[in-house]
Amino acid sequence: MAEHEGSNAEQIAKEFKEHSVAEFFKKNMQMLGLTGKIKTLTTIVHEYVTNSLDACEEAKILPDIEVQLKELGAEYYEVTVKDNGPGLTKETVGKALGQLLAGTKFHRMMQMRGQQGIGAAGCTMLSQITTGKATEVITGTGKGPALSLEVTIDPKKNQPKIVNLHELKSEFKGTAIKAKFKGVKYVNSEQAPLEYLRRTAIANPHAKITLIEPSKKKIVFNRTVKEIPRKPTEMKPHPKGVNVDEVISLSKYSDTKKVSSFLKSAFDRVGDKAIEQIAKNITFDINIDPKQLTWEESEEIVKQFKKINFIAPRTDGLIPIGEDRIQKSLNGIVKPEFLSVVTRKPTVYSGGFPFQVEVGIAYGGEAGRGNAVNPDGEAERKMEIMRFANRAPLLFDTGGCAITRAVQSIDWKRYGVKDYENAPITIFVNLISVHIPYTSAGKQAISDEDEIMEELRLALMDSGRKAGAYIAGKKKEQERKMKKELFYKYIPETAWAIEAITKQSRKTLEKNLEKLVLEKLKLEDEEDEAQEIKKEIAKTSADTKKKAKENEDYSEEEQEEEEEEEN
Amino acid sequence: MAKEKKPKKTRSTTETPEAIAQRIEEMAGNIAKEINSNQDPTFSTQQRGRNNVEFDEDKGLLMLGDKVTSRNFLNIGHAKKFMQTMMVSAKTHNYLKQNKTASIREVYYELKHTLGKSKENTFEDQTESDACIVDLEHSVNTIREKLNLHANPKGTLYGDIILRDRKHNNDEFNAAKLGRGGWSIMSRIEPEEIEIVKVNAEYILVIETEAMYERLVEENFAKKNKAILISTGGQAARGTRRLIQRLHSEGKLPVYIFTDGDPYGWYIYSVVKQGSMALAAHSNFLAVPDAKYIGMTLEDVEDFGLQNVTEKMKDGDVKRAKEMLAYPWFQNKEWQEELKKAIKEKIRIEQQALANKSLSFVADEYLPKKIKKKDFLP
């Protein structure tokens, strides 16, 4: 009986194990970002492209990535992504494409593009369960023959299964992955691969990205800078930013013998003074083996962490794109009339997480969403917000994101943008952090931490002011043009009449009247400028006086606000 | 209104067309000089409108003040008016040179066209070209008749008076011998065009309505009373006013004004007597400060028993009457009483209400009685 029961239980366990990976995958598709036919296709493209970008960056190669989408049938597509990266070996192919959750990115305090759900292996799995087909790979390191193979995942073992492996005669450096998917769809919308790649190109100006659409139309986003970004460095977690669970898991990997030395080595900014203070206030011996730490003891440590005034975390591990590169990139891809970019200094949220905000405001040209149509049926550009977290575009869950809310919280009218939602404006926002506070596991929206909101607002106001000055200048220019046209309209008849009476040359009169009008308008411009300089001087001196009066706690935000009011 | 400013400068009416044309040439010449020497072209004109019109108590005339305004081409608000005035000047200059006359409406149509490729016209309506004519009159210090321009004629003359049309074969005619229609008063009544040869009458009766005029012609009123009848047909046109003024000053005839007893009638009277806001610049030779108001009055209603044929005044009329109470030329006992009574009782009385007595009542009784008793309002 027992044996029988045992075999039954074993059977159940075996079955569970066989199905577990695939089942888990299917059941959690939603959580993994695989909802909707359009979004799923974008997620697939994202996984492959992110891998390519990361691999190139790691190998210090300027990425050249080509994405090709082919429609094979109704909601049935083939995705091919080809890069010029370092290539994969037989072993690494299996890990990268044939094993779920095999990434090396977990539990690392490092600024990363970040997976948005499934990873490239997830794509292999998705292809497998929707089409029954293997993922084809050609990869080469540039040394020796390239490999051609097909990979699937053994759902029982969560292990790669590689078939049709053979060496190619030609050399090849890079990786090309081809996979087929059902239940996906290609359209041209803001959440589709084209927009995803456009934004990826903007945030990665060192990459050249090509898309070949199902219609065979080829769209190329050219490289605008030639330097490869610095590799982010790994940073120890700051004591203000850890929870009990993290303390325990870190303690398990520690080589140290005492909790005191574990705390000093595993966390940023923890020194002897802090250890002294912790030792005094905990109920257990700080010299015990860290591997023995209980949940309750860890709780005590976290509690002490909260009480101690640590120096703010190091921020040098953050790699912004940089004002200069964002400029080049937006100029190359959005081709605006005017662009203002601000990279803020790094700072910290929740006491323990370094982060940094970059904002670019592009106006005119191809800025704004281009596919909007006004009531007269004419194409009309509307404001678009391009959200990025560590350079990776966030396309979904727009309304729930701190970036969107920060944009909405700005009074754009102050900057001369009357109806900002219907203006040809692209607002680029990149949030960089070792730990992006996403609102949910879908990783598509950033939660509105106070410090993040404030930094976002300051950056938006700063570049908004510059953009506003440009827009105001443009308006003035238009007014000037209108005035000129108005005067010019009356010149021919005036000259005709004077000629009729005086017999003086109409042509000379016309020419001289035009000259007079131009000189008058130029004079007006100069007067306007003088007026503005006067205002600026008055404002600056008022500010200086005010600043002298205020105490040091006067926050930058308040200052900005008051300057606004004076304008 | 500036108190110390006295209206001055009477515009010359005796200059030759050549002299006027030359002044237009001077004005345009100056503008051309400014344009060609890099200066904002400008001309000056009298400020028009209420705040540059004053009532001259001594003369009993509405006069244009001496507030001058300049029009600059480089002023965004003036540019179009500048162009328009130049165009009207050119056209007028051309009329003077060609010895032609035109109505102000013809000027408008001659100059109206679309500006270049725009959707804008040189003149959108006649009020715009009319305004330019007024400006030009001032700029070259003359009157529109001297610019060979005239308004649309209106008004009729009947009575024993001989006139000569010097611009048309020197035709001589007696205005009592043209049939019942009388003579249609032209809009240009300057002495070099219309000469008053002989007047055989004792006074001029200015009548508001055509119907009343026809009644009096039919009753042979002019002949029986040695009167000259002039119908204004509503508000008196410029030519009609000029003729009344000339008959008064040249023929030494008193002027009696006969209108409905209501704000509109009173205003007709006040324009003939003191001048109008729009043509305040020309009051000197258009207005007759000695003119008397014969009726209709509210006293007539009682004197002639017309209580049952009065009309109710509308709210607008009452409002208008209240405004008139404040007019400087109505600041006398008689008019104040008349206006206050009308406002209080809210009634008005028409000329033709006299027919209630009989058709010939106005000619046989009303007018002769009033004239004999000198029963006028001042």
pLDDT of residue A563: 37
Q: Which residues of B touch A516 (CB under 8 A)?
A: 35, 38-41, 73-74
Strand ranges in A263-365 using DSSP code E only, listed in sequence order: 338-343, 347-349, 353-363
Predicted confidence band of residue A376 (pLDDT cuts 50, 70, 90): low
- β-strand pairing of B161-165 with B194-199: antiparallel
pLDDT of residue B37: 93
What is the average per-residue pLDDT within B303-320? 92
- 3-state DSSP of A221-264: ECCCCCCCCCCCCCCCCCHHHCCHHHHHHHHHHCCCCCHHHHHH
pLDDT of residue A20: 62
- 3-state DSSP of A311-330: CCCCCCCCCCCCHHHHHHHH
For residue A386, list its beta bridge partners. A428
What is the average per-residue pLDDT within B10-31? 84
Q: Which residue of B has its CA nearest to A517?
A: B74
What is the average per-residue pLDDT within B349-373? 94
**Is residue B130 scored above 80 in pLDDT?**
yes
Find the CB nearest B24 among A494, A496, A501: A501
**Is residue B2 scored above 70 in pLDDT?**
no
Dump the DSSP string for B172-220. EEETTSS-TT-EEPPS---TTTEEEEEE--SEEEEES-HHHHHHHHHTT
Alpha-carbon gap, residue A155 to A134, rounded angstroms: 13
Range scoring the smallest mean pLDDT among B253-257, B281-285, B353-357: B281-285
**Is residue A148 scored above 60 in pLDDT?**
yes
Instruction: Give Cα A285 distance to the centre of its chain.
Output: 45
- Among B residues 110-139, those touching chain A with beta carbons less than 8 Å apart: 115-116, 118, 120, 122
Q: Which of B42, B74, B94, B119 to mutate to test the interface with A (most CBs of A within 10 A)?
A: B74
* Per-residue pLDDT tens over the stretch A463-492: 998 888 888 888 888 888 899 999 999 999
Q: Which residues of B touch A515 (CB under 8 A)?
A: 38
Q: Which residue of A has its CA nearest to B92?
A: A501
Let me know: does B198 contact B161? Beta carbons within 8 Å: yes
Range scoring the smallest mean pLDDT among A96-110, A212-226, A523-537: A96-110
Range of A96-110, B113-127, B276-290 with top mean pLDDT: B113-127
**Is residue A172 scored above 90 in pLDDT?**
no
Instruction: Provide the token pair at B124.
Output: 């959108």
Query: To which H or E segment does residue A77 belong?
Result: strand A76-83
Alpha-carbon gap, residue A287 to A289, rounded angstroms: 7
* Per-residue pLDDT tens over the stretch A339-364: 999 999 988 888 788 899 999 999 98
pLDDT of residue A317: 79
Let me know: does B236 contact B244? Beta carbons within 8 Å: yes
Cα angle A109-A57-A392, degrees, rounded to a multiple of 5: 65
pLDDT of residue B65: 80
A490–B74 CB contact, under 8 Å:
no
Query: To which H or E segment does residue B86 belong?
Result: helix B79-98
Q: Cβ of B76 under 8 Å from any chain A Cβ?
A: yes
Alpha-carbon gap, residue A532 to A473, rounded angstroms: 12
Q: Which of A485, A494, A509, A512 to mutate to test the interface with B (most CBs of B within 10 A)?
A: A494
Cα angle B44-B50-B55, degrees, rounded to a multiple of 5: 100
What is the average per-residue pLDDT within B59-85? 88
ipTM comes to 0.74
Query: What angle, rounded to 10 degrees, do the helices at A119-131 and A37-58 form?
Result: 140
Let me know: does A287 contact A258? Beta carbons within 8 Å: yes
- Out of B108, B109, B158, B366, pick the active-site residue: B109
What is the average per-residue pLDDT within B86-111? 93
B25–A501 CB contact, under 8 Å:
yes
B36–A504 CB contact, under 8 Å:
yes
Alpha-carbon gap, residue B74 to B80, rounded angstroms: 10
What is the average per-residue pLDDT within A36-55? 90
C-alpha distances out from residue B207 to B216, B268, B269, B358, Å: 10, 10, 10, 19
pLDDT of residue A19: 58
What is the average per-residue pLDDT within A39-60? 90
Q: Can you count the helices (H) and strands (E) in chain B?
A: 14, 17
Alpha-carbon gap, residue B111 to B123, rounded angstroms: 8
Dump the DSSP string for B13-27. S---HHHHHHHHHHH
Q: Largest Cα–Cα distance of chain A, in whole Å?
A: 127
C-alpha distances out from residue B74 to A484, A521, B120, Å: 10, 10, 19
Predicted confidence band of residue A379 (pLDDT cuts 50, 70, 90): low
Let me know: does A232 contact A112? Beta carbons within 8 Å: yes
Q: Cβ of B4 under 8 Å from any chain A Cβ?
A: no
- Among B residues 24-63, those touching chain A with beta carbons less than 8 Å apart: 24-25, 28-29, 31-32, 35-36, 38-41
Q: Which long-range contacts (CB under 8 A, 24 or more apart) does B309-312 make?
A: B309/B349, B309/B350, B309/B353, B309/B356, B310/B347, B310/B348, B310/B349, B310/B353, B311/B262, B311/B347, B311/B348, B311/B349, B311/B350, B312/B346, B312/B347, B312/B348
* Per-residue pLDDT tens over the stretch A400-448: 899 999 999 998 888 877 788 888 899 999 999 988 888 876 678 899 8
Instruction: Provide the token pair at B147.
Output: 């610019």
Q: Which of A498, A505, A508, A514 to mutate to test the interface with B (most CBs of B within 10 A)?
A: A498
Alpha-carbon gap, residue B42 to B92, rounded angstroms: 19
For residue A22, give every residue at least 6 positions away whose Cβ sits within 8 Å of its Cβ, in sequence order, or none: A125, A129, A155
Let me know: does A80 contact A67? Beta carbons within 8 Å: yes
pLDDT of residue B6: 40
**Is residue A373 scored above 70 in pLDDT?**
no
Q: Which residues of B touch A492 (CB under 8 A)?
A: 115-116
Q: Which residue of A has its CA nearest to B84?
A: A494
Alpha-carbon gap, residue B361 to B215, rounded angstroms: 10
Instruction: Give Cα B281 distance to the centre of its chain.
Output: 11
Let me know: does A443 contact A114? Beta carbons within 8 Å: yes
pLDDT of residue A32: 66
| Chain pair A-B, CB pairs under 8 angstroms | 81
Please, where are the H alpha helices in A334-411?
402-409
**Is residue A62 scored above 90 in pLDDT?**
yes
- β-strand pairing of B183-184 with B203-207: unpaired
pLDDT of residue B5: 40
What is the average per-residue pLDDT within B107-119? 92
Mean per-residue pLDDT of chain A: 84
pLDDT of residue B154: 87
Known catalytic residue at B109: yes
B79–A487 CB contact, under 8 Å:
yes
- Burial of A151 (C-beta count, 10 Å sphere; 0-12/13-18/19+): buried
Predicted confidence band of residue B295 (pLDDT cuts 50, 70, 90): confident
pLDDT of residue B356: 92
How far the first Cα of chain A sits from its last, in Å, is: 88
Range scoring the smallest mean pLDDT among A343-347, A356-360, A505-509, B143-147: B143-147
Cα angle B4-B5-B6, degrees, rounded to a multiple of 5: 115
**Is residue A15 scored above 60 in pLDDT?**
no
**Is residue B21 scored above 90 in pLDDT?**
yes
Instruction: Provide the token pair at A454.
Output: 């404030």
Q: Which of A482, A490, A516 to mutate to test the interface with B (most CBs of B within 10 A)?
A: A490
Instruction: Say which residue the tokens 């299964």 belong to.
Output: A161
Predicted confidence band of residue A296 (pLDDT cuts 50, 70, 90): very high
Cα angle B319-B322-B323, degrees, rounded to a multiple of 5: 90
Phi/psi zone of residue A490: left (φ > 0), alpha (ψ -120 to 50 degrees), beta?
A: alpha
Range of A186-190, A284-288, B213-217, B233-237 with top mean pLDDT: B213-217
Let me know: does A301 contact A240? Beta carbons within 8 Å: no
Find the CB nearest A516 among B24, B40, B120: B40
Question: Identity (one letter) of the amino acid at B265?
Answer: G
Instruction: Provide the token pair at A24.
Output: 């888990």
Alpha-carbon gap, residue A417 to A397, rounded angstroms: 25
Query: To which H or E segment does residue A43 belong?
Result: helix A37-58
Please name which of A68, A78, A218 lies closest in space to residue A136, comparing C-alpha atoms: A78
pLDDT of residue B269: 95
* Per-residue pLDDT tens over the stretch A244-265: 888 888 888 888 899 999 999 8
Dump the DSSP string for A497-556. HHHHHH---HHHHHHHHHHHHHHHHHHHHHHHHHHHHHHHHHHHHHHHHHHHHS-TT--H
How far the first Cα of chain B sits from its last, in Å, is: 26
Instruction: Provide the token pair at B299.
Output: 């006293």
**Is residue B10 scored above 60 in pLDDT?**
no
CA distance B110 to chain A (A): 13
CA distance A473 to chain B (A): 20
A494–B86 CB contact, under 8 Å:
yes
**Is residue B150 scored above 80 in pLDDT?**
yes
Mean per-residue pLDDT of chain B: 90
Instruction: Provide the token pair at B9.
Output: 């400068």
What is the average per-residue pLDDT within B306-335? 91
Find the CB nearest B36 among A492, A493, A508: A508
pLDDT of residue A539: 67
pLDDT of residue A21: 65
Alpha-carbon gap, residue A488 to A482, rounded angstroms: 10
Alpha-carbon gap, residue A513 to B74, rounded angstroms: 9
